[in-house]
Chain A
Amino acid sequence: SYELTQPPSVSVSPGQTATITCSGDELGNKFVCWYQQKPGRSPVLVIYQDDQRPSGIPERFSGSNSGNTATLTISGAQAMDEADYYCQAWDTSTAEVFGGGTKLTVL
């Protein structure tokens, strides 16, 4: 089965750049999206098709995908960005797959 691997946690100081990675075999050949989930809330789509931002998502959120790694970048991280982040991809053999999630701490 296809697997996506994320670091369990990432820490960043306010105003600095946070980088969250998502790794999978030949992930660059698939489209990746990212979700933000705050405690007690439903997930929110922040990036789709590797680097596209849905309307309403701040410009500080950006994405990239190449080789075996997709990356979510939050430029100028704010306290409100503290949340769990999940990557997701779709594979023909296993359909939809999520990464294990990364807890972003802004302090």
Chain B
Amino acid sequence: EVQLVESGGGLVQPGGSLRLSCAASGFTFSRYWMSWVRQAPGKGLEWVANIKQDGSEKDYVDSVKGRFIISRDNAKSSLYLQMNSLRAEDTAFYYCARDSTDDGIPLAGHPHDSWGLGTLVIVSS
């Protein structure tokens, strides 16, 4: 069974930093692109970042470029999101999501076939 378990969320002051982790199990982590998607309380979904299987390609939504860094450790089957210079508008549930692939190639449209339960980040003074 595919499992994605996020951790690392919490309360942080504006301008502060936080590192989120996602522990994956039940599948060969190194064969999949992975993503972070966030959802402000009571609001819609927003894609944040994704990373290729070997970490050689990364992409970010414009609002977090230069502040957030996505990374992975395939030996530990783990995904990370380093969040710096946090702002109030970064307050959200952060989900780890697996990108659907066909033999290692992400499906067109980058659908996410598995999601974690999310971890809540609150940016407030």
Contact = CB atoms under 8 A, between A and B. Distances in A.
Interface of A: 1, 30-33, 35, 37, 42-45, 48-49, 54, 86, 88-90, 94-101
Given A90-B110, A98-B46, A42 B100 contact: no
B45 A49 contact: no
B91 interface: no
Interface in B64-114: 95, 100, 107-113
Given A95-B61, A98-B44, A98-B46, A45 B109 contact: no
Identify the 8 closest CB pairs spanning chains A and B, nearest first.
Answer: A31-B109, A96-B47, A48-B111, A33-B111, A42-B115, A31-B108, A101-B44, A98-B45
A88 B115 contact: no
B12 to A, nearest CB: 23
Contact of B44 (A44, A86, A89, A95): A86
B50 interface: yes
30 contacts: A32-B109, A33-B109, A35-B112, A42-B95, A42-B115, A42-B117, A42-B118, A43-B37, A43-B95, A43-B112, A43-B115, A45-B100, A48-B113, A49-B108, A49-B111, A54-B113, A86-B44, A88-B45, A88-B109, A88-B111, A90-B109, A95-B47, A95-B59, A95-B61, A96-B35, A96-B47, A98-B44, A98-B45, A98-B46, A100-B44
